[in-house]
Amino acid sequence: MTERAIVVDGLGKQYHIGAVQDRRYRTIRDGVADAFVAPFRRAAKLMRGQATGAAELDETIWALRDVSFEVKPGEVIGIIGHNGAGKSTLLKILSQITEPSEGQALIYGRVGSLLEVGTGFHPELTGRENVYLNGAILGMTRVEIEANFDEMVAFSEVEKFIDTPVKHYSTGMQLRLAFAVAAHLEPEILIVDEVLAVGDAAFQRKCLGKMGNVAEQGRTVLLVSHNMSAVTQLCDRALLVSHGRLAMDGDAPDVVSAYLSSTDAASGSWSMTEESGEGTRRDDATIESVRVLNQGGQPEALVPFDQDFSIEIGYTVHESIRDLAMLYAVINERGEVVWASWDTDSGDWAGAVRKPGTYVSSCRVPARFLRPGRYYLNAVGHVPDVRMVDKRMRVVAFDVSPSGYRFDASRDGAITPALDWTVERVGS
């Protein structure tokens, strides 16, 4: 067996964006018109300060540039980065769907690609017929399809409808069947692009389990995903692609943490002075700041799973208020409330009068409690069952990194606390 499964050396891909904007049939008149206006277009660009030849340069874009890395047989590597970073372009080159503009990619072994779930499904054919069609498109032989057919159908959970035309399937059912076919490929190298987001939550966990089995069988896997928990659970190594270049190559938790910490949307703090517009001050009380604080008491947009952190609400009371309660709600990426907590839960301020002044209410969140991912904070001041005083919705975004997270990614629950257990033998 070769010591290398994939070798990428100086890989680059350039696209001509101006030349492909209009693919309609071009007439001689179009060509003459283009030739006539070209000098004027070039002169206008020179007047804007662009160099000679910019007419051609600004009609191209480098989706990838100077990317180099090696993959050993049996490695499971996550590829992460923001949308448009070049991840899918890289996978298309490795899958030999598109040719590189520069450099080379050497592949040692049979490649199976899951770049778009459901490619080749025909709505008029039954589920059974589409299994054979889709399997053939993905590179499976008829013998392989027949050998895995029952397992694929059982995995998809659409046995009852397998002889029904897929035009009558829901979108979720089609995705289930498509992933079931693709997941049963048996190549030496498996290239996967964001197919772990198919179906409902239960089926996503099932997909993660299947990908884990593939990795355990010793096959080489390249996985592109925005599910950072899945990347850290399935992959030992990760590549961070940014603006078409390889920004980082290292252990998956370290690369994921670096990626999350560089995300602009996660600020970790908000204050009213940053908010534009009128009417931010309320008559009786105003929420003026919301912050996520690390163990050192500093604002932090990225908190490790295995470290505690605090959530702080700063506010000013303008007029005395009895029974005022400040609360925060933690919201996940699906918009669901993971939990909410009131500053009157401790009992110290329940029923009390808060006189005019500046206040800070803070709450410590224990370590190993909130599963890795992106979260948002709502902050609300109210008199329970009476009236709303002030509210700031989704004013803070923060990430919980996978650092220290050693649980199975398929574990259920919006939170994954590490609780203390005792085990006793009570009999022979």
pLDDT in the model for residue 348: 79
Residue 199 is encoded by which pair of tokens? 């179906």
pLDDT in the model for residue 287: 95
- DSSP category for residue 157: T
Place 234 in a pLDDT band, splitting at 50, 70 and 90.
Answer: confident
> How buried is residue 91: exposed, middle or buried, by Cβ count under 10 Å (0-12/13-18/19+)?
buried
**Residues 203-207: contacts with CB within 8 Å, 24+ apart?**
203/157, 203/172, 203/176, 205/409, 205/410, 205/412, 206/155, 207/179, 207/183
Q: Is the pLDDT of residue 181 over 80?
A: yes
- Most confident range (mean pLDDT) of 3-12, 137-146, 172-181, 382-391 is 3-12
> What's the topology of domain 64-261?
Rossmann fold (3.40.50)
Amino acid found at 24: R
Across 271-285, average pLDDT: 64
pLDDT digits (tens, 9 = 90+) for 346-385: 877 778 899 999 999 999 999 999 988 889 899 999 998 8
pLDDT > 70 fraction of the chain, expressed in percent and rounded = 81
pLDDT in the model for residue 88: 86
pLDDT in the model for residue 290: 95
Residue 217 φ/ψ, nearest 5 degrees: -80, 0
The domain spans of the chain are 26-58, 64-261, 269-401
pLDDT in the model for residue 377: 92
Assigned superfamily of 269-401? abc- transporter (atp binding component) like domain (2.70.50.60)
Q: Is the pLDDT of residue 279 over 60?
A: no
Q: Is the pLDDT of residue 289 over 90?
A: yes
pTM: 0.59
Across 90-111, average pLDDT: 89
Q: In sequence order, which ranges of 157-243 are alpha helices (DSSP H)?
A: 171-183, 201-216, 228-234
pLDDT in the model for residue 365: 95
- Most confident range (mean pLDDT) of 69-83, 302-316, 322-336 is 302-316
Taking the C-alpha atoms of residue 60 and residue 54, their distance in angstroms, rounded to an integer, is 10
Those residues whose C-beta lies under 8 Å from the C-beta of residue 391, and which sit 6 or more positions away, are: 287, 378, 379, 380, 381, 382
